[in-house]
Amino acid sequence: MPTPDSTAPHCPPELLQGAKKVSVRPGFTGLLWTDVRARLSEPARQYLRRTFPAVAVRTFTGTDEAYWQEWLTDEKLDQLSGLVIALDGDGVPAGWVAGNDREFGGRTCFYANSAGVHPDHQGTGISSTLWRALLRAAIAKAAPRSLHAVMRTANPLVYSGWSAATGRDDTTWPAPGREIPEHVRRIAADAAADLGQADRLDPATSVITDAYESELWTERPTSHRAELDEWFAELLGPRDAVLLVVAFHPVSLMTHLVLHQVRRSLGLRKSTSSRSART
């Protein structure tokens, strides 16, 4: 539970019904809705429709408010298995993550529907904090089986963050110089079909051609890893995306988290490249 200092002073009351507070950072309120269809109230939906699109177009500069109003329709919201919003001190959305439960390749997968952080708050750890809140329950529910998270992205920073979150370097696909295994290809094929883009997926590279109707950004974000940014630039056109599949193994993930806590308690630091991979 968040401390009083971690709660924004102007959290609109219509958002609180059906939501669970999650700790974000001082001055912000994090709100989590699971089973969005049942728990996200009509007043909360209306509030998000009034405030959310203006933030989203600042995050994805190639989109317009009409795109996000469509994303916020009841039909689209009711398909979400989870939604987390971070509100700033004025009660305005500053960041969000959203996910769906899907059956891909004969496995129950977590599909990362959307995520973004207002440019004024990027680099502060909000996005990773919100994703942890949403993924924690999904990983616990899947244990001891692995959980495969799936997302369509053209952002190397997103790719870098999700790869680092597993605590391993061999459970992210696609990856430079590594063949995509058959079970991952089946997951990707089903995910592309679910998106209505099966005919645009290259199974060898997991690239979806013309994945987006328009360019999401006027300039593609960077990951602070030159080799990854270069790979994305070579792999993707302006409207293309990779269908990213990341496997979370509960046992190795717990080991990774324990080691991370030990390093923090001892005041040890990782290398610069490792830290930037998690930005």
30 plus 133 within the same structural domain: yes
Burial 169-181 (b: 16+ CB within 10 A, else e): eebbbbbeeeebe
pTM attached to this predicted model: 0.76
pLDDT for 212: 92
**Same domain for 150 and 251?**
yes
Torsion angle, alpha carbons of 39, 40, 43, 48, to 10: 160
Please spell the DSSP secondary structure of 165-198, one letter per residue.
HTT-SSSEESBTTBPPPHHHHHHHHHHHHHTT-G
How many structural domains comprise the chain? 2
Q: What is the pLDDT of residue 253?
A: 56
Enclosing H/E stretch for 85: strand 82-87
Say if CB 116 and CB 95 are below 8 A apart. Answer: yes
Residue 80 belongs to domain spanning: 1-145
Residue bearing tokens 């269908």: 243
Domain match, 27 and 108 both: yes
Residue ending a domain, choose from 92, 116, 145: 145
Q: 129 and 92, same structural domain?
A: yes
Residues 173 and 261 in one domain: yes
Q: Are residues 152 and 185 in the same domain?
A: yes
Q: What is the pLDDT of residue 222?
A: 87
Q: Are residues 157 and 225 located together in one domain of the fold?
A: yes
Quick one: 178 and 44 in the same domain? Answer: no
How do the pLDDT tens digits run along the chain, 279 residues long?
444 444 445 788 999 989 999 999 899 999 999 889 999 999 999 999 999 999 999 999 989 999 999 999 999 999 998 999 999 999 999 999 999 999 999 998 999 999 999 999 988 889 888 988 888 877 877 778 889 999 999 999 889 888 888 878 899 999 999 999 999 999 999 999 999 999 999 999 999 999 998 888 888 888 888 999 999 999 999 999 999 999 988 765 554 544 444 445 455 444 333 222 222
- What ranges in the chain are assigned the alpha helix state H? 36-39, 42-59, 65-71, 74-77, 126-142, 156-165, 182-194, 226-235, 250-266, 272-277
Domain holding 98: CATH number? 3.40.630.30
Same domain, 232 and 252: yes
User: Considering 93, 118, 145, which residue would you say is the last residue of a domain?
Assistant: 145
- For residues 89 and 200, membership in a common domain is answered with no
Q: Are residues 137 and 153 in the same domain?
A: no
In this structure, the answer to whether residues 156 and 216 fall within a common structural domain is yes
Domain end among 145, 164, 195: 145
Give the number of other Cβ atoms within 10 Å of residue 74's Cβ: 11
DSSP code per residue over 227-270: HHHHHHHHH--TT-EEEEEEEE-HHHHHHHHHHHHHHHHHT---
